[in-house]
Amino acid sequence: MAPMTTELTPARRYRGAEAEERRAQRRAQLIAAAVQVYGERGYQNATVKAVCDAAGLTERYFYESFANSEALLLASFQTVTHRLLHTLALAGEGAGGDGQQRALAMLRAYFGALQREPRSARVFLVEIRGVSKHVDGALADSLDEFGGLLAQALLPSARQLDPLLAAGVAGGVVHIAVRWIRHGYTPGVEVVARTALQLALVLAREPD
């Protein structure tokens, strides 16, 4: 009798990878739909069914990837945050010049992205707040990353970053963004970016 083996055949491995790819695609569809629905209706007014309808999927596929609506909100926020922070990092790297020029380029990219993608902006700035301690923790992490990017542009490499100050500056920039959006994206991106830069420059000051 031939010995038993647990090795998968190439065909079975292929089918498994194909199934996993389809599952990842459905998950991405649900996240994109959530950003759309939360951005239009707000998280509290959105149902699982509304998100599934927007994604063109049944609720069965929702629970394949997410335990509940909060898990989807968190995944949506993390997706939007990752995309936004990546955009900022690229803007800073491409700006050249001194730290102030790099930070200004990041802030231009930040406010420009919020204006171009209002649904994502609502998820990033508004819908994430106060849902749960776990989600608030994700917001705090994003502020740390945002503040860290600005500090990386503005601080000499020898200076030690004050993480509380960096998070405070990032939170201040977010508050500027919320007020700016509520006032119909006025003044323009260049003006609001330079205003936010005045706050960000606190990071570059020598401590007393």
**What is the Cα Rg of the chain in Å?**
21
Evaluate whether 91 touches 106 at the Cβ level (below 8 Å).
yes
pLDDT average, residue stretch 187-197? 97
Other beta carbons within 10 Å of 35: 24
**Could you report the per-residue pLDDT of 72-116, keeping only the tens digit for each?**
999 999 998 999 999 999 999 999 889 999 999 999 999 999 999
**Could you report the per-residue pLDDT of 7-51, keeping only the tens digit for each?**
556 656 556 668 889 999 999 999 999 999 998 888 989 999 999
Q: What is the pTM of this model?
A: 0.83
Q: Can you spell out the DSSP letters for 115-161?
A: HH-HHHHHIIIIITTTS-HHHHHHHHHHHHHHHHHHHHHHS-TTSPP
**Could you report the per-residue pLDDT of 111-154, keeping only the tens digit for each?**
999 999 988 888 888 888 888 898 889 989 999 999 999 999 99
CATH superfamily entry for domain 8-66: Homeodomain-like (1.10.10.60)
CATH number for the domain whose boundaries are 68-208 = 1.10.357.10
Distance of alpha carbon 157 from alpha carbon 179, whole angstroms? 33
Query: What's residue 97's pLDDT?
Result: 83
Query: What's residue 160's pLDDT?
Result: 82
Query: What's residue 15's pLDDT?
Result: 63
- Supply 60's token pair: 């069965």
Model confidence band, residue 208 (pLDDT cutoffs 50, 70, 90): low
Domain boundaries, the chain: 8-66, 68-208
Other beta carbons within 10 Å of 173: 25
Query: What's residue 13's pLDDT?
Result: 58
pLDDT average, residue stretch 183-203? 95
Query: What's residue 174's pLDDT?
Result: 94
Q: Is the pLDDT of residue 202 over 60?
A: yes
Query: What's residue 7's pLDDT?
Result: 58
Evaluate whether 108 touches 177 at the Cβ level (below 8 Å).
no
